[in-house]
Structures are given as structure tokens and as C-alpha cells.
Amino acid sequence: MKKAMPGGRASSAPLLGSDTEPTIFEMSQSGRRAFQLRTTGVPALPLDQLVPREHLNPTHVELAEVSERDLVAHFTRLSHRQFAVDLGAYPLGSCTMKYNPKFCDAVAGDPGLNSVHPGAPAHLTQGWLALLCDLEERLCEVTGMAGATLQPAAGAAGELTGLLIMRAYHESRGDQRKRVIIPDSAHGTNPASVTLGGYEVTTIPSDERGLVDVNALRAVLGPDVAGIMLTNPNTVGLFEEEISEIANAVHEVGGLLYYDGANLNAILGVVRPGDMGFDIVHMNLHKTFATPHGGGGPGAGPVAVASHLVEFLPGPKPAMTSEGTYEWRTPHHSIGRVHGWHGNAMVLARALAYITVHGGDGLPRVAQHAVLNANWLRQRLQAVLPAAYDRPCMHECVLTATGIKHNHNVRALDLAKRLMEKGFHAPTVYFPLIVDEALMFEPTETESPQTLEALACALEEIAEEAVVDGDRVRHAPLTTPVTRVDEARAARQLVPTEDAAERV
């Protein structure tokens, strides 16, 4: 651990964006406190007279000692060194990293909701149970399903839950099946969940349209297929037009259809997975409804199922009694718990707030505006960054930098890095894997035409720079607090300590 630096360091605070912000330990001054209690006259006893010696930690724990003012300034300065959803457009695709309305946070901040222990008995938590029941019902309405669980902690956890339900269903019929089919454009969590769920993955190729190749699908179908996992619109932002044929073909061999709902915001209130023929759906509430989710969580991945699967849902579930009160019930053939308690409750509360406020024609408008924005951007950028598949997209568009790479040796990664210097967050790059030099933009419904135009202009400028000053783009970013990092080294040489820089 570093020694405390001489005083005065914090007061000569660096400017925003500087890379010389000291660590909180460097700012530390022995004896300095963020607050002081009033003097009482009660003599201060040594610690080992207050706490039995055997309970005291024998090692000295070095904590930073700073004033509240310096503490707040330090973290506020640090917060200004990163890009955030509250600072500007965040066109990252596939994650729906959108601006989330603040009223959802206000709801989650209600002490009536957030001071309740999840283990409190049902008769003391009727309000929470009513809220959860209400949310389950609305999610079933949005997806066209018969029942739901709110327990899974995020999309990937929902996938595993769905696959365990698929398994329980087949096993209840004495039907041993082995394989789950996944298109090659799928999100990486899909094959991982299939493997965790005890099935083998069969991958099918996309066709030249970027859609499921129905003939390739038919060729791998058989009585050992437990089901198929599909994202629709898929990860290239395209709607699977032959979804009814796909559903019929899979159902004909006794398989189930699993809907990866990460892209549900594209079809919200317009078309429902249940009506497309799906049996199981997970939703990423943190992607479609509310909850900012950068930095890894928290999220919520409720799973909704068709009527023949309701008995397998995780439990306990909130349910209304015949007297109109609420209780916890576990379905007959439940696969059991998939969460320590009832799910990530505050994400659930935010989602219900979002759905309630947008109800009626609000939810379809979310989807329509998201689709309009993505198509506008795709069309606007056509000359600079052509679409990987030249057809109308849904809520996100996948563009390719293949041309710029071949002509000017500037890659998608370089464009994305340079974009951060122009006041925009980078798009998703190199995903989906089936597109060369992919740049995936998802403007979402929240961005204005002016913001989209500014984003397009920034990309045009960068494309121009690639021609006249390629090195500037290849070495970008040069003006951000952290310049280009060695991403491979970060993954291979993980040193999670505050003095990491000195150790490597």
C-alpha cells in the first residue's frame, strides 16, 4: 500500500479529464474524518475494552482518512472521467443501453418498497406481492404467455431457467431428448445455457439474408431435438420472416421454441412471441423496460411460458387467494428456486413503473420509435458504412467497415475508439460474429433526430479522417482520460488492486 502523500494534494485538484487524479489513499491524512460526532464527556475507551480481544482483527487495516468535502470531490471528478448514459448518446447495440426515465428510480427509491425484507411473511408484504402479481400478468400480456417467474437475475439466468423448464417438460413425458438448435448469429449466452442445461448444441447457419436458413433447420430436426433458441428480431437486427414455418417444423418433431427476449423492445406491443409460436420467453427487464445496466448489473430476466409449461415454473410464486389476498405458492412440478429470494426486486419495481406509465399505446410507440431511429441511421450512413444486410432492420442496424479496412487500413475498432472523442459512446463492435468488421448501432427510442444527425456527421468526419490522416484514427483516443488500452493484456493479466500500475 502507498504511503499517504503530504497535505494539500487534494486541494490542488486536477482539472476534469486529467489523468493525475490521486487515489483516495494518496489523499489520506492521518486523523482526518468525513464527520465528527459532538463531544459528550464520556471517556473514550481503548477498543479492546469495548470488544473482546478475540474478535478484534489483529492486522492493521489501512483505510483512507479524508474529509467529506475531499471525498465527494474525488468521486465526482472520477465520475466525470467516464462516459455515461446521462451524458450523451449510447448507441451500443444488442444491449439496449438506453437512457432510463428517472421516475423509475424514484419508484425504486420508495422506502415502502426498499425497506422490506424479502423474508418477511406474506401477510406483512401484501403490497409487494400485489406488485409482483401485477408485473407477472403484464409480462404475460406483452409476450402472449400464460404464466411467468420473476426470479431469474438476468437474461442468462432466464435462459438456464427456460432450458430447465424445457427439460422438465420432456422428462415429465418420459421423453429423453439430447439437442437444442441455435443459429450461428446467436448471443454467446445461448450455447452456454444449453450446455449448462445438459443439452448438446446444434448450430445452424444463417442464409445470405441474415435469417435462419429454413432448409438447414429442417435438415437437423429429429426426435432427439428438445427445442430451438431464437432471438427475433435476431442479433443482426432482422425479423425472422419465416417464424411460423420455423415454429411448425420444430413443433412437428415435438420440440419447444425458446424466445431470447433481449430484443423485445423492437416488437413491444406490436407482435407477441406467443403468437409467433414460442413456448418459453425470457425478458431482459434491464434492456426493454427500465434500469440502467452498465457495469454488469443488476438486471432481471423473468421467464414467461405457455399454458402447458406453467406447472414447471420456479417457486414460490406470488398468487392471489380466493379472498383477494396474496400468498406464496409453488407450482406442482416446479423446477425449484433459481434465486435466493424472489428476484432482483428493485429492477422488477422499475419495470412495472415503466410499463404502467407507457401502457396502452405507449409501449408500441417505444418499439416504433426504436425501429424508426435504427432505420434512419442505417439509411443516413449508407455511403460511409453500408449495412451488412441491405434490407429494413428492426431496432438496431449492423453496418460493416470492411471497405474502410481494405482501402485505408482503418478497422471498426479504430472508428469506435475515435467516436468516443466526438462525444458519443462507441457502438458494439465485432458482434455478431458472422459480419466482418461489424459495427452495431442501437439508437433506441430515446434519441432525437438532431442527436442521430450529429452521430452520423461524427462518423462521416471519422471516415474522412481515415483517408487523410489514418494514424489519427488508428491511435485514437488521444484526448480521453484513458487512451487506447491493451485489451488482451487486461484479460490475461488481471491485477485487481489499487496499486496495479506498480505491479505490472
Of 64, 89, 92, 95, the residue at the interface with ligand PLP (CB under 6 A) is 95
- Residue 180: partners with Cβ closer than 8 Å, 6 or more residues away: 163, 166, 194, 197, 199, 200, 201, 202, 225, 226, 227, 228, 229, 258
Of 155, 233, 255, 315, the residue at the interface with ligand PLP (CB under 6 A) is 155
Query: How many chain residues interact with ligand PLP (CB under 6 A)?
Result: 14
Would you count residue 154 as binding ligand PLP (CB under 6 A)?
A: yes
Calculate ∠ Cα 462-383-416, nearest 5°. Answer: 35
β-pairing, 397-400 vs 280-283, is unpaired
Site residues for ligand PLP, 344-373, by CB under 6 A, read none
Stretch binding ligand PLP (CB under 6 A), from 9-17, 34-42, 106-114, 149-157: 149-157
* Other beta carbons less than 10 A from residue 204's beta carbon: 22
Q: Which is nearer to ligand PLP, 182 or 355 (CB)?
A: 182
Cis peptide before 302 (omega within 30 of 0): no
Quote the CA–CA distance of 429 and 413 in Å, as a whole number.
7
Stretch binding ligand PLP (CB under 6 A), from 61-69, 143-151, 153-161, 402-410: 153-161
Of 21, 64, 92, 94, the residue at the interface with ligand PLP (CB under 6 A) is 94
Q: How far is the CB of 231 from ligand PLP (least distance, A)?
A: 5
Q: How far is the CB of 154 from ligand PLP (least distance, A)?
A: 4
Quote the CA–CA distance of 247 and 261 in Å, as a whole number.
16
Quote the CA–CA distance of 357 and 352 in Å, as a whole number.
9
On whether the CB atoms of residues 174 and 331 are closer than 8 A, the answer is no
| Grid cell in block for residue 341 | 429470494
Q: Which is nearer to ligand PLP, 384 or 397 (CB)?
A: 397
Q: How far is the CB of 94 from ligand PLP (least distance, A)?
A: 4
Q: What is the DSSP letter of 318?
A: E
Three-class secondary structure of residue 384 per DSSP: coil
Q: Which is nearer to ligand PLP, 155 or 302 (CB)?
A: 155
On whether the CB atoms of residues 170 and 226 are closer than 8 A, the answer is yes
Q: How far is the CB of 298 from ligand PLP (least distance, A)?
A: 10
Q: Which is nearer to ligand PLP, 152 or 277 (CB)?
A: 152
On whether the CB atoms of residues 284 and 155 are closer than 8 A, the answer is yes
- Residue 460: partners with Cβ closer than 8 Å, 6 or more residues away: 384
Q: How far is the CB of 316 from ligand PLP (least distance, A)?
A: 23
Q: Which is nearer to ligand PLP, 163 or 476 (CB)?
A: 163
Site residues for ligand PLP, 290-329, by CB under 6 A, read 299, 301
| Grid cell in block for residue 212 | 435462419
Q: What is the DSSP letter of 212?
A: B
Q: How far is the CB of 137 from ligand PLP (least distance, A)?
A: 22
Q: Which is nearer to ligand PLP, 23 or 446 (CB)?
A: 446
The one-letter code for the residue type at 94 is S
Site residues for ligand PLP, 214-253, by CB under 6 A, read 231, 235
Q: How far is the CB of 116 from ligand PLP (least distance, A)?
A: 25
Q: Which is nearer to ligand PLP, 151 or 284 (CB)?
A: 284
Site residues for ligand PLP, 165-194, by CB under 6 A, read 187, 189
Quote the CA–CA distance of 210 and 236 in Å, as a whole number.
7
Q: Which is nearer to ligand PLP, 158 or 331 (CB)?
A: 158
Stretch binding ligand PLP (CB under 6 A), from 28-36, 101-109, 139-147, 151-159: 151-159
Residue nearest to ligand PLP (CB): 155
Q: What is the DSSP letter of 308?
A: G
Q: Which is nearer to ligand PLP, 95 or 384 (CB)?
A: 95
Stretch binding ligand PLP (CB under 6 A), from 97-105, 118-126, 154-162, 236-244: 154-162
Three-class secondary structure of residue 238 per DSSP: coil
Q: How far is the CB of 111 from ligand PLP (least distance, A)?
A: 28
Of 28, 149, 284, 375, the residue at the interface with ligand PLP (CB under 6 A) is 284
Q: Which is nearer to ligand PLP, 188 or 449 (CB)?
A: 188
Quote the CA–CA distance of 377 and 372 in Å, as a whole number.
9
Task: Transcribe 31-49 into DSSP letters.
Answer: T--S--PPP-SPPPPPHHH
Q: How far is the CB of 66 from ligand PLP (least distance, A)?
A: 35
The one-letter code for the residue type at 132 is L
Q: Which is nearer to ligand PLP, 129 or 349 (CB)?
A: 349
Quote the CA–CA distance of 178 and 255 in Å, as a whole number.
11
Q: Which is nearer to ligand PLP, 107 or 182 (CB)?
A: 182
Q: Which is nearer to ligand PLP, 304 or 458 (CB)?
A: 304
Quote the CA–CA distance of 306 and 120 in Å, as a whole number.
31
Quote the CA–CA distance of 194 and 164 in Å, as a whole number.
9
Three-class secondary structure of residue 210 per DSSP: coil
Q: How far is the CB of 191 from ligand PLP (least distance, A)?
A: 11
| Grid cell in block for residue 483 | 487512451
Q: How far is the CB of 484 from ligand PLP (least distance, A)?
A: 26
Quote the CA–CA distance of 158 and 149 in Å, as a whole number.
9
Of 136, 240, 260, 279, the residue at the interface with ligand PLP (CB under 6 A) is 260
Residue with cell 462525444: 423
Query: What residues make contact with ligand PLP under the rule CB under 6 A?
Result: 94-95, 154-156, 187, 189, 231, 235, 260, 262, 284, 299, 301
